[in-house]
Structure 1
Amino acid sequence: MPLLKCSPRGRVLSILSLAAVLWAGSGAASEQCPPDSRHWPFDEAGGQGGFAHVQLQRGEAVLADDPLQPGNRVARLTAGPKKKGKVGKADYVHRFEPLPAGSVILMQARIYFPPGIPLNSVILMDLECASCGLETNPGIRLYLRRGLLRVDRSKVGIKQPFLPTVPRVMTAGVWHELSWQVTLGAGEDGRSLVTLDGEVISDARGTTMLTQEIVSRHMDVTVREQADRFQIGLTANSNPQAAEMLLDDVRFCQL
């Protein structure tokens, strides 16, 4: 069978087409919230950082100076150790209009851990529902386990977390750029994409929200399948010692 030949122009178009396909396959990793999205830079925002709510449980949230960039103001969050079964908390809360299955949500932030702080058993972001019909505020959570980022889904009835596929760890003493893009959905319709410093470290499909089907397995309760609350900071510290972090340039948007 003779080989197909193409002109130089055809070869260029083929290369461009291939590049477009590759870019489309990885395009989600390069998504950014638009300039007019919700943005919290912590410059002149007071103790609540411009957020409507702050959640504290043996914790503190204040504005502080950036240790690496003089003149830049950031949020400093401190959460106490876990005591008598209760975790320490220090995080900001953003409520938004309920979003249903199929919605794509992007959450971004710059995060800094001071040296000596445990980079384990701390939850950094929650995407959950406060008005679904359950008091547990079901949702999924992005957390650190030995410096690696993973997504816990136990509050929506899924035991298996989304594990990192690239062994890139967060380290103390440097600013990290963290991005979490979530497509709300059940089964293969759900997706979680985690990017650290511009590198995709986890891209998984699976249930990312509370569903009636899962709830009906355990109780006779009607729930709403949606998300309406974003939390960021130290949303839970399960360590036997206090945790601390700095936070800057938080963004939230629907894509």
Structure 2
Amino acid sequence: MPLLKCGPRGRVFPILAIAAVLAAGSSRAEGLCPQEGRHWHFDDAAKHGGFAHVQLQRGTAVLAEDPMLPGNQVARLTAGPKQKGKVGKADYVHRFAPLKAGSVILMQARFYFPPGTPLNSLILMDLECASCGLDTNPGVRLYLRRGMLRVDRSKIGIKQAFLPTAPRMVAAGVWHELSWQVTLGAGEHGRSVVMLDGEQVVDARGTTLLTQEIVSQHMDITVQEQADRFQVGLTANSNPETVEMLLDDVRFCQL
């Protein structure tokens, strides 16, 4: 049996597993956010667990008890079905000072989908720009399709929008730890690394932010090449039914 180490808030993690994670790729890339990063754990009495903004479109966001760990408070999000072309939304929003090409951003969270949840057509994280000069909030998104994760770049104008799909399935009825590291950049300078429960499931190069070159092919407007907003939860539900999820231990930092 591997040695054990207490993690945040008393959780226990195998030391050998942590070492394996840190050894994969860049040691900082797959580690946890440092102390100076933002951490939302929903045990606070503050509304929305300390997030300044919540986005709801036929959705709800409340605090609830963890069904797997009594006494642990989490966020319960519900997003309504897609109707008349509009998706359901229930997510938390973190605004930060604009970060440009070359910046490395790490986003992490724990997700739980109740049994019977359709693990399809859901967006779980967005890294986007609200002040680039376009009102479409362009950015990259972490998308759940048929139980598997993939990075969607359609909103930054990439024709080959999807980076490789993760080969491992997400399951309902269990907590999953999700980590998404993005290096902002164009072409081979952009990178997305996705980890699921401590295992690297995606490591792909490709454009990860809106670029002036792409915009100039379609319109005569000057844009900023940057990111300034992180969204997490049910940022889009395209299913014909309402979807629910639990959320905990959200972290955000620049590496």
Query: Does 1:159 pair with 2:168?
Result: no
Partner of 1:209: 209
Letter of the aligned partner of 1:120 in structure 2? N
Tell me by how many angstroms 1:102 deviates: 0.1
Q: How does 1:179-218 map to 2 (within 5 A)?
A: 179-218=179-218
Letter of the aligned partner of 1:179 in structure 2? S
Deviations 1:65-91, CA, capped at 9 Å, x for gaps: 000001000000000000111100000
Tell me by how many angstroms 1:44 deviates: 1.6
Q: Which has the larger radius of gyration?
A: 1
Letter of the aligned partner of 2:176 in structure 1? H
Letter of the aligned partner of 2:123 in structure 1? I
Distance 1:24 1:71 in 2: 34
Tell me by how many angstroms 1:47 deviates: 3.7
Between 44-53 and 76-85, report the one with greater CA deviation: 44-53
Deviations 1:148-175, CA, capped at 9 Å, x for gaps: 00010000011221122x5211100000
Secondary structure in 2 matching 1:48? helix
Tell me by how many angstroms 1:26 deviates: 5.3
Do the aligned partners of residues 190 and 200 (structure 1) sit closer, same or farther apart at CA in structure 2, a change above 3 Å counting? same
Query: Does 1:239 pair with 2:239?
Result: yes
Tell me by how many angstroms 1:35 deviates: 2.2
Tell me by how many angstroms 1:28 deviates: 5.4
Confirm or deny: 8 A CA contact 2:24 2:30 kept in the other structure.
no
Confirm or deny: 8 A CA contact 1:108 1:252 kept in the other structure.
yes
Distance 1:82 1:244 in 2: 14
Letter of the aligned partner of 1:163 in structure 2? P
Distance 2:228 2:66 in 1: 31
Confirm or deny: 8 A CA contact 1:97 1:228 kept in the other structure.
yes
Distance 2:250 2:92 in 1: 10
TM-score normalised by L of structure 2: 0.89
The gaps in structure 1 that reach 5 residues or longer are 1-21
Partner of 2:73: 73
Secondary structure in 2 matching 1:49? helix
Deviations 1:126-162, CA, capped at 9 Å, x for gaps: 0000000000000000010000000100000112211
Letter of the aligned partner of 1:250 in structure 2? V
Partner of 1:91: 91
Letter of the aligned partner of 1:96 in structure 2? F
User: For the aligned residues, what is the CA RMSD?
Assistant: 1.3
Confirm or deny: 8 A CA contact 1:87 1:236 kept in the other structure.
yes
Distance 2:96 2:26 in 1: 28
Partner of 2:171: 171
Do the aligned partners of residues 210 and 108 (structure 1) sit closer, same or farther apart at CA in structure 2, a change above 3 Å counting? same
Letter of the aligned partner of 2:86 in structure 1? K
Secondary structure in 2 matching 1:27? coil
Confirm or deny: 8 A CA contact 1:33 1:253 kept in the other structure.
yes
Letter of the aligned partner of 2:151 in structure 1? V
Confirm or deny: 8 A CA contact 1:210 1:225 kept in the other structure.
yes
Letter of the aligned partner of 1:202 in structure 2? V
Letter of the aligned partner of 2:32 in structure 1? Q
The gaps in structure 2 that reach 5 residues or longer are 1-21
The sequence identity of aligned pairs, in percent, is: 78
Partner of 2:39: 39
